[in-house]
């Protein structure tokens, strides 16, 4: 069906009579029409990934269809959309908030990193050299993580990881996996169990699926991970059911009771419940055994029928896991020991300059396309001017004695999700006409501003070049708008990089607020008259924009695109200040150099000079303040969720000083944060408690100066009920 016809039908359906008033003759025609429409939208959404109507519009069609069928069951046919196996009730996958966030793992690449990991744990827990730490060592499956929620032993929700806080509800699809029990086996299973693990596709199934896809002229997947993701994101669970997906259980989220007190015990329990766990999982008793495990699994890697990209080590004792806790988004008690990066040889065809959101230049190598570790690579980062010239500062460095020229044969490396890079040049193969690349002195943007090299922390000239156009540079503006609309920030469906470039060129969107005023200006713009747009797609886009007028504070802060304020930092700031007003007031004060506001920001965990300098620079600039002011008129910013806690110290600010006897200072800080307090680095009048051990110095004096309550370690432990 053409879009035009669909538009016409939808328009017509809006003027249709209420279900109660339909005659039998009308019902027949109406059901047929709705069936065709729903099928067409399902195809656009699931197979083409290009929906033509919004979720709400789709839901309305479905609702009308269901209401008619319910009233006239005699008209329900075998091929009705309501009869499809596993058909979902409506629309896109609903969002599911994870009861316990799904976090990721820190990486170790070298054996020394593993030694450090174990030493850090030992220090944190204050273990002696003779105390043994057991680790569960497991293959790191290269699939998609999944959280399965069971209530009363019954599978109720399956959710993807999403951004860690919120994932997509793929329950109907997950129910088709044979490795996932619908009911947990065994008696006395806790009332609430969230079992987490990895959904994957075997290499063999991946190859067979691609053959079938190719034969049918459908999407061919780049690797088993993508094919697993694509198979799971099917609207029609019958398609998921036809794709052989496996599941290994290896972790948990919310549990109303713990059936074991070790990681290995939990793995045993998962098996008793009816899950598959990875058969290569092994309990190791020393760092040497961990490293031997890594070597052994690496040897077996090629022979396994599923992709793995490393191994994971987890402290086995769960009480230790709890004490160790998390640093930002990764646990202190686990680490992924990755396998070495995969490499391939190809030719460098050209070098282009990419201007980033903050004006920094990245030279991008254009390659003769080459497969590296199952993915086709065409672009590589060449980092900076010095990297290309083969002269090194302390940053990234090419193999010694090499430089990169256009036409060179290069060795490309790809490690996990890291952007591929050139690590070496095959000098023997350098053609005579290989061209030395001259780094631009002017920004390629229409302003042709001068290019400067950034200063390093020590004030020397750094390797990174930047455009000096700042907010006047259109490249920077476009890059910021792309980030703003992206999945990790405002997540505006249908406003991808291409659309941003197009809207920017047309001067319809020059700054974030313009996105929200676009619908109201459309009677002048008439977007639907442009190639690639129709009435439905414009309606979809505007509905997506409307949907995002409410935004969580952390996403909003991240979306501003300040340098050094990534998602984690944005989250820390959002939690630290709670509301946009509090954060904004603080930023304006910081920009004016207000010492107290700076000290307060500095007191937030993980916020230091670099972030503060960046916030100061951003809010010190009137142009940026204007952008923010216009934007905040268009959106509603939702306050950050304060960490939930009933503890006596929730919401309080604590400073630890001197040496503690029962635990390390890091552990005390982590414990305070778990209980909802803020562990600060310096004492101000906003500090609630100073916990002082022997050897406390100036902070104790500061506490007295500001009249802050001082506690001994034991008093502190009493206060938090430990």
Residue 294 Cα distances to 16, 225, 272, 718, angstroms: 65, 21, 27, 43
Q: What angle do CA 107, 109, 114 make, to 5 degrees?
A: 80
Cross-strand bridge partners of residue 445: none
Q: How far apart are CA 337 and CA 315, in angstroms?
A: 14
Q: How far apart are CA 376 and CA 342, in angstroms?
A: 12
Are the C-beta atoms of 370 and 344 separated by less than 8 Å? yes
Q: What angle do CA 390, 356, 455 make, to 5 degrees?
A: 55
Q: How far apart are CA 527 and CA 3, in angstroms?
A: 16
Q: Choose the binding region for ligand IVH from 136-144, 233-241, 380-388, 609-617 (rule: CB under 6 A).
A: 136-144
Q: How far apart are CA 680 and CA 286, in angstroms?
A: 35
Examine residue 198 and tell whether it contacts ligand IVH (CB under 6 A). yes
CB of 337 to ligand IVH, least distance (A): 11
Q: Choose the binding region for ligand IVH from 139-147, 149-157, 176-184, 417-425 (rule: CB under 6 A).
A: 139-147
Buried-exposed string 231-266: b where 16+ CB fall within 10 A, e elsewhere: bbbbbbbebbbebbbbbbbbbbbebeeebeebbbbb
Nearer to ligand IVH, 336 or 572 (CB): 336
* Cα radius of gyration (the chain): 29
Nearer to ligand IVH, 251 or 663 (CB): 251
Nearer to ligand IVH, 163 or 497 (CB): 163
Q: Choose the binding region for ligand IVH from 112-120, 133-141, 268-276, 511-519 (rule: CB under 6 A).
A: 133-141
Q: Please identify which of the residues 52, 140, 482, 699 carries the catalytic annotation.
A: 140
Q: How far apart are CA 421 and CA 381, in angstroms?
A: 5
Of 336-375, binders to ligand IVH (CB under 6 A) are 336
Of 102-121, binders to ligand IVH (CB under 6 A) are 103-105
Q: How far apart are CA 38 and CA 34, in angstroms?
A: 6
- Residue 45-84 contact track with ligand IVH, rule CB under 6 A, x = bound: ----------------------------------------
Q: How far apart are CA 626 and CA 406, in angstroms?
A: 43
Q: Coil, strand or helix: which one is 172?
A: helix
CB of 448 to ligand IVH, least distance (A): 43
CB of 309 to ligand IVH, least distance (A): 8
Q: Choose the binding region for ligand IVH from 100-108, 263-271, 377-385, 424-432 (rule: CB under 6 A).
A: 100-108
Nearer to ligand IVH, 313 or 656 (CB): 313
Nearer to ligand IVH, 287 or 312 (CB): 312
Nearer to ligand IVH, 129 or 417 (CB): 417
- Shortest Cβ contact with ligand IVH: which residue? 145
Q: How far apart are CA 394 and CA 693, in angstroms?
A: 39
Nearer to ligand IVH, 198 or 408 (CB): 198
Q: How far apart are CA 144 and CA 93, in angstroms?
A: 16
Residue identified by tokens 């930023």 is: 587
CB of 436 to ligand IVH, least distance (A): 40
Which listed residue (40, 54, 88, 145) binds ligand IVH by CB under 6 A?
A: 145
Q: How far apart are CA 259 and CA 179, in angstroms?
A: 21
Summary count for the chain: helices (H), strands (E): 25, 28
Q: Choose the binding region for ligand IVH from 12-20, 138-146, 558-566, 709-717 (rule: CB under 6 A).
A: 138-146
Cross-strand bridge partners of residue 197: 146, 249
Nearer to ligand IVH, 141 or 598 (CB): 141
Nearer to ligand IVH, 488 or 506 (CB): 488
Residue 388 Cα distances to 402, 521, 715, angstroms: 9, 46, 59
- Residue 302-341 contact track with ligand IVH, rule CB under 6 A, x = bound: ----------x------------------x--x-x-----
Of 560-589, binders to ligand IVH (CB under 6 A) are none
Are the C-beta atoms of 652 and 677 separated by less than 8 Å? yes
CB of 281 to ligand IVH, least distance (A): 8
CB of 679 to ligand IVH, least distance (A): 21
Which listed residue (41, 92, 140, 235) binds ligand IVH by CB under 6 A?
A: 140
Of 158-177, binders to ligand IVH (CB under 6 A) are 161
- Residue 220-259 contact track with ligand IVH, rule CB under 6 A, x = bound: ------------------------------xx--------
Are the C-beta atoms of 445 and 355 separated by less than 8 Å? yes
CB-based burial of residue 374 (10 Å sphere; 0-12 exposed, 13-18 middle, 19+ buried)?
Answer: middle
- Determine whether 140 is an active site residue: yes
* Active centre residues (catalytic): 140
Residues that bind ligand IVH (CB under 6 A): 103-105, 138, 140-141, 145, 161, 198, 250-251, 312, 331, 334, 336
């Amino acid at each position: 069906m053409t879009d035009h016809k669909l538009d016409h039908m939808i328009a017509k359906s809006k003027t249709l009579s209420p279900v109660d008033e339909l005659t039998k003759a009308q019902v027949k025609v109406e059901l047929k029409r709705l069936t065709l429409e729903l099928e067409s939208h399902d195809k656009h959404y699931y197979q083409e990934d290009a929906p033509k109507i919004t979720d709400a519009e789709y839901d309305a069609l479905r609702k009308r269809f269901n209401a008619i069928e319910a009233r006239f069951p005699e008209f329900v046919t075998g091929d009705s959309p309501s009869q499809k196996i596993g058909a979902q009730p409506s629309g896109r996958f609903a969002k599911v908030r994870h009861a316990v966030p799904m976090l990721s793992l820190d990486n170790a690449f070298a054996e020394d990193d593993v030694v450090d990991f174990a030493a850090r744990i030992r220090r944190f827990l204050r273990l002696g050299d003779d105390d043994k730490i057991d680790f569960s060592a497991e293959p790191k499956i290269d699939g998609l993580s999944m959280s399965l929620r069971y209530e009363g032993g019954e599978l109720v929700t399956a959710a993807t990881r999403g951004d860690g806080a919120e994932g997509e509800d793929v329950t109907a699809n997950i129910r088709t996996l044979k490795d996932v029990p619908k009911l947990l086996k065994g008696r006395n299973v806790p009332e609430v169990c969230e079992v987490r693990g990895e959904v994957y596709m075997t290499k063999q199934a991946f190859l067979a699926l691609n053959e079938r896809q190719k034969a049918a002229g459908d999407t061919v997947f780049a690797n088993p991970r993508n094919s697993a993701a694509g198979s799971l994101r099917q609207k029609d669970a019958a398609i998921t059911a036809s794709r052989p997906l496996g599941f290994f259980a290896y972790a948990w989220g919310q549990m109303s009771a713990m059936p074991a007190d070790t990681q290995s015990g939990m793995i045993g329990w998962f098996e008793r419940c009816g899950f598959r766990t990875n058969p290569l999982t092994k309990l190791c008793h020393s760092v040497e055994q961990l490293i031997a495990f890594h070597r052994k699994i690496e040897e077996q890697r090629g022979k396994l029928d599923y992709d793995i990209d490393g191994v994971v080590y987890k402290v086995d004792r769960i009480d230790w896991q709890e004490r160790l806790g998390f640093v930002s988004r990764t646990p202190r008690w686990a680490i992924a020991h990755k396998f070495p990066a995969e490499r391939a040889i190809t030719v460098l065809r050209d070098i282009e300059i990419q201007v980033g959101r903050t004006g920094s230049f990245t030279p991008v190598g254009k390659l003769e396309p080459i497969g590296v570790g199952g993915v086709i690579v065409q672009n590589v980062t060449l980092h900076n001017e010095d990297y290309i010239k083969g002269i090194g500062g302390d940053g990234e460095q090419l193999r010694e004695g090499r430089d990169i020229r256009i036409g060179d044969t290069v060795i490309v490396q790809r490690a996990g999700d890291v952007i591929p890079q050139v690590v070496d040049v095959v000098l023997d193969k350098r053609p005579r006409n290989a061209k030395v690349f001259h780094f631009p002195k002017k920004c390629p943007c229409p302003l042709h501003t001068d290019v400067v090299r950034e200063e390093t922390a020590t004030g020397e000239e750094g390797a990174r070049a930047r455009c000096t156009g700042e907010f006047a540079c259109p490249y920077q503006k476009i890059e910021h708008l792309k980030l703003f609309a992206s999945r990790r920030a405002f997540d505006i469906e249908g406003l991808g990089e291409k659309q941003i470039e197009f809207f920017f060129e047309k001067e319809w969107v020059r700054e974030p607020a313009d996105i929200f005023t676009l619908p109201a200006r459309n009677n002048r713009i008439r977007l639907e008259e442009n190639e690639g747009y129709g009435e439905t797609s414009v309606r979809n886009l505007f509905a997506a924009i409307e949907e995002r007028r409410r935004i969580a504070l952390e996403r909003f802060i991240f979306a501003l695109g300040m340098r050094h304020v990534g998602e984690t930092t944005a989250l820390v700031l959002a939690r630290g200040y709670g509301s946009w007003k509090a954060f904004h007031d603080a930023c304006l004060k910081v920009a004016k150099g207000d010492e107290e506001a700076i000290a307060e920001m500095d007191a937030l965990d993980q916020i230091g000079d670099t972030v503060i300098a960046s916030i100061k620079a951003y809010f010190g600039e009137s142009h940026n303040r204007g952008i923010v002011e216009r934007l905040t008129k268009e959106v509603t910013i939702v306050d950050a969720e304060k960490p939930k806690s009933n503890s006596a110290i929730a919401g309080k600010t604590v400073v630890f000083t001197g040496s503690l006897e029962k635990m390390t200072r890091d552990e005390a800080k982590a414990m305070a944060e778990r209980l909802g307090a803020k562990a600060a680095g310096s004492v101000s009048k906003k500090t609630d408690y100073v916990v002082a051990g022997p050897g406390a110095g100036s902070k104790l004096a500061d506490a007295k100066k500001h009249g802050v309550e001082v506690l001994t370690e034991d008093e502190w432990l009493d206060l938090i009920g430990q």
